[in-house]
């Protein structure tokens, strides 16, 4: 997850729906959904993490649906501790984490059987999203099922068995990397590249240094002068960033798309996926996709408001000011607490509410109620005209 939108890691998106008939077998993926839909929700074009409500024996918890996670289920450590004493200990991204026995859980009609699950401190997601994230449902939980991201119909679904998008003649094979995460092999700039399909990332694309440098030398990537920040369970990491000047992937243009270096794995995330309608099947594993026709681009709230915020206790804190942009012009300072925004009314401040604010009030002033040094005041901030998250060059040249 990387710093792109208002905060710097993935963000919320929920979705699923549509039907048809036709039976699914492991040998022949179906094109109709019939009664095979296990989970369905609305899907936002915003490059945010996909979330849903996981039902546990004594509570329902908001979780991220993350194909980039190699475990069925991870729960926040404090929540997991309420289930009983630790069973064992595992290492996740270099961090020692206790495991707990969970009697069973479900996401809609998607059942996760009783098992020993990992735990982790997921507070970073709550801080950067302003959402009560308490778990992660990973790729193994989708075994024998298909995750469908239908951006044209604004739906995300999990369905039984393999599924192929209508009018899609063939699918790309999906294989597992060393940590059992789903990858596809594609040609990128004249070289074969293995790419992780990661719905837990709000980035467009991350590349290992050898591929990042190869494409930069080829002239496909324009390097930015500044570094960006990648945030995951192991902490914050400085990364090199740039944008594509040419090229295509999965039938869509890469021009203007932001790309970053990574020491982990080549990866495509939700910001890029929003250019497609796609279905990712897990055993038999395949990617079925089709480019969208004239898709509406997601916006870049951090650029439009000129700041990055973190969230806590229903308010936001200014964590970064972008020079020359709206927040600086309005007089906001680092550490200012945003207690409320008149135009948001009583809605809790979060990445999602700020994204919606930028959509609705692009080019217009909004009134922020802030606290600085114990004193409350009101500041008027004029949100910029819409800035596309798919045109990094234009966003940078407009005054980043």
pLDDT digits (tens, 9 = 90+) for 114-127: 999 989 999 999 99
Amino acid 270: pLDDT = 93
Residue 317's alpha-carbon distances to 7, 66, 216, 228, 378, in angstroms, are 10, 27, 36, 19, 15
Q: Please report which confidence band the pLDDT of residue 10 belongs to, taking 50, 70 and 90 as the band edges.
A: very low
Least confident span in 227-241, 283-297, 317-331? 227-241
From CA 347, how far away is CA 363, in angstroms rounded? 21
- Domain covering 305-397: architecture: Roll (2.30)
| Residue 40 burial by Cβ neighbours in a 10 Å radius (0-12, 13-18, 19+) | buried
Q: Is the pLDDT confidence value at 78 over 90?
A: yes
CA 96 to chain centre: 25
The total of other beta-carbon atoms located within 10 Å of residue 132's CB is 14
pLDDT digits (tens, 9 = 90+) for 132-189: 999 999 999 999 999 999 999 999 999 999 998 987 767 899 999 988 999 999 999 9
Q: Is the pLDDT confidence value at 70 over 70?
A: yes
Ranges for all domains in the chain classified under CATH 2.30.42.10 = 305-397
Ranges for all domains in the chain classified under CATH 2.40.70.10 = 12-160, 172-291
Q: Please report which confidence band the pLDDT of residue 224 belongs to, taking 50, 70 and 90 as the band edges.
A: confident
Fold of 172-291: Cathepsin D, subunit A; domain 1 (2.40.70)
Fold of 12-160: Cathepsin D, subunit A; domain 1 (2.40.70)
Residue reference for tokens 């590249």:
193
Q: Is the pLDDT confidence value at 345 over 80?
A: no
CA 179 to chain centre: 20
From CA 360, how far away is CA 381, in angstroms rounded? 14
Compute the mean pLDDT over every residue in the chain, rounded to the nearest whole number. Answer: 85
Of the candidates 334, 363, 187, 157, which has an alpha carbon nearest to the alpha carbon of residue 266?
187
């Amino acid at each position: 997850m990387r710093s792109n939108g208002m905060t710097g890691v993935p963000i919320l998106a929920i979705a699923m729906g549509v039907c048809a008939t036709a039976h699914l077998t492991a040998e022949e993926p179906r094109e109709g959904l019939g009664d095979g839909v296990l989970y369905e929700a609305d899907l936002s074009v915003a490059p945010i993490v996909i979330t849903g409500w996981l039902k546990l024996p004594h509570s329902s918890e908001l979780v991220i649906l993350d194909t980039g996670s190699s475990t069925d289920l991870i729960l926040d450590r404090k929540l997991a501790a309420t289930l009983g004493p630790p069973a064992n200990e595992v290492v996740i991204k270099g961090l020692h984490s206790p495991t707990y026995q969970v009697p069973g859980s479900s996401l809609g009609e998607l059942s996760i059987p009783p098992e020993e699950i990992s735990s982790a401190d997921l507070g970073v997601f709550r801080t950067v999203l302003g959402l009560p994230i308490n778990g992660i449902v990973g790729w193994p939980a989708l075994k024998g099922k298909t995750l469908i991201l239908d951006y044209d119909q604004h739906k995300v679904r999990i369905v039984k068995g393999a599924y192929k998008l209508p009018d899609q003649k063939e699918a790309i094979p999906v294989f597992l990397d060393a940590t059992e995460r789903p990858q596809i092999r594609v040609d990128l700039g004249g070289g074969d590249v293995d790419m992780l399909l990661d719905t837990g990332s709000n980035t467009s694309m991350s590349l290992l240094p050898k591929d990042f440098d190869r494409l930069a030398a080829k002239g496909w990537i324009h390097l930015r002068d500044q570094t960006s920040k990648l945030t995951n369970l192991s902490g914050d990491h400085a990364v090199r960033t740039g944008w594509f000047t040419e090229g295509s992937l999965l039938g869509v243009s890469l021009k203007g798309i932001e790309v970053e270096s990574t020491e982990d794995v080549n990866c495509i995330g939700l910001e890029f996926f929003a250019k497609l309608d796609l279905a990712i099947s897990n055993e038999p594993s395949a990617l079925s996709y089709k480019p969208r026709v004239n898709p509406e681009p997601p916006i870049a709230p951090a650029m439009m408001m000129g700041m990055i915020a973190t969230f806590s206790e229903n308010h936001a804190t200014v964590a970064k000011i972008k020079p020359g942009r709206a927040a600086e012009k309005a007089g906001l300072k680092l550490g200012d607490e945003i207690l409320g925004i008149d135009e948001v009314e009583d809605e809790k401040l979060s990445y999602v509410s700020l994204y919606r604010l930028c959509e609705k009030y692009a080019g217009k002033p909004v009134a922020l109620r802030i606290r600085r040094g114990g004193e409350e005041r009101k500041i008027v901030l004029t949100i910029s005209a819409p800035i596309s998250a798919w045109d990094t060059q234009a966003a940078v040249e407009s005054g980043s």
